[in-house]
Amino acid sequence: MSLPAARSRYLSWLANALAKPTFTTSTQARGHAVLGYATGYDSADIAPFVRSLRSVFGGVVALVVDDRPDVSSLLAQHDVIAIVPDRIAGWAPHPVMQRFVAFDRLLRGWPDVDGVLITDVRDVIFQADPFSPRPERLLAFQEYEAGVLADHAFNMKYIRALAGADLAAAVSQRPCVCVGTVMGPRDEVLRLCRTILMLATVPRSAIGGAFGADQAACNLAIHLGMVDAQLVPNYGRVATLGMTAGANLTFADGRVVNPDGTISAVVHQHDRHPHLAEAVHALWGGGFEHRQRVQPKSFTERWYKLKQSVARRLPEQR
């Protein structure tokens, strides 16, 4: 007797997305590459990332962006490859999950790329070459200098939703890895992207496709040994500042200074601290509006969020 095939909207979306061919670009990428997913943003949101990165890095940079003239112009000025995502009809997960398919498709088409950084965009700036020294293995960066996953309610909420209470408890005493910045050799980054995408197939679509599922899947993949990654403490190559007390962070000589006085090549979540956000905008955002991190949501955005919240609590139609 045959078993029924698993069915969900997420599984259908993933099958369609992975079946797409690699993105076509005029660049035959080699060496190091920085990849980001920046749909929903305009040039004001993207400028600090692009300008700061190009001040320290001359390699391949590709951003998945909306087809907007202002964004296209900014990226062309800084020799950044603009990738317009394919819109798959019907249901689609949150962009934080869609990005891993985009990274997969880009890297499959660039076999000569060596080291890869996949990163958030809007809240990231660069202060030195992120590939110095060259990563020899997959590097996963801790989100804060002390504490474990159990100390962070957001992470535990989505790990429990994605994998259940028992597996969440099994990893609860491990460090919190931030999915917003991960780097390593091309093949290992590809493996991480596909592992995250497959882990999200386990629960119903409204969980696996939700904001937060990416962070949960990344921590599970690393802490359960599905991918081999080196855990790097905060304030090293990457500084993730969302959980850092603002009073312990300074801006001097055009750079964000960590609480221990060091300077990180990559700064993530600087916009959580108004004094850093203002300084970063003054340095890298010239000519553009200074955006506040929290902006009022439209009725449509609030309604969408409510529908997603309800969907996470209902059984999926199979």
- Say which CATH number the domain at 150 has: 3.90.550.10
Query: Average pLDDT, whole number, for the chain?
Result: 90
218 located within any domain:
yes
- Mean pLDDT of the region 70-90: 90
Region of poorest pLDDT, from 79-88, 105-114, 240-249: 79-88
pLDDT of residue 296: 53
182 located within any domain:
yes
Output the pTM of the full model.
0.91
Per the structure, the count of domains in the chain is: 1
Q: Is the pLDDT of residue 182 over 80?
A: yes
Burial class (CB in 10 A: 0-12, 13-18, 19+), 196: buried
- Mean pLDDT of the region 185-204: 95
Beta-carbon count within 10 A of 19 CB: 7
Domain that holds residue 29: 9-293
34 located within any domain:
yes
Distance, in Å, from the CA atom of 68 to the CA atom of 237, rounded to the nearest integer, reads 32
Inter-residue long-range contacts of 51-55, CB under 8 Å, 24+ positions, other chains counted: 51/78, 51/284, 52/125, 52/126, 52/127, 52/283, 52/284, 53/125, 53/126, 54/78, 54/79, 54/80, 55/126
pLDDT of residue 297: 55
173 located within any domain:
yes
Place of tokens 């995502």: 85
pLDDT of residue 293: 60
Q: What tokens were used for 242?
A: 């969302």
Q: Is the pLDDT of residue 304 over 80?
A: no
Q: What tokens were used for 98?
A: 């869609």
Q: Is the pLDDT of residue 150 over 80?
A: yes
pLDDT of residue 102: 96
pLDDT of residue 205: 82
Inter-residue long-range contacts of 247-255, CB under 8 Å, 24+ positions, other chains counted: 249/273, 249/275, 249/276, 251/275, 251/276, 251/279, 251/280, 254/283, 255/127
140 located within any domain:
yes
Phi and psi at residue 122, to the nearest 5°: -60, -35
147 located within any domain:
yes
- Mean pLDDT of the region 276-299: 80
- Mean pLDDT of the region 89-95: 86
Identify the three-state secondary structure at position 61: strand
Of residues 57 and 288, the one with the higher pLDDT is 57
pLDDT of residue 318: 46
What single-letter amino acid sits at 49?
A: F
Identify the three-state secondary structure at position 19: coil
207 located within any domain:
yes
Contact, 270 vs 256, CB < 8 A?
yes
Q: Is the pLDDT of residue 117 over 80?
A: yes
pLDDT of residue 294: 55
Distance, in Å, from the CA atom of 189 to the CA atom of 186, rounded to the nearest integer, reads 5
Q: What tokens were used for 67?
A: 């087809």
What is the distance, to the nearest Å, from the Cα of residue 24 to the centroid of all Cα atoms in its chain? Answer: 22
DSSP single-letter state for residue 192 = H
First CA to last CA distance, the chain: 20
302 located within any domain:
no
Q: What is the pLDDT of residues 244-258, one digit of tens each?
A: 999 999 999 999 999
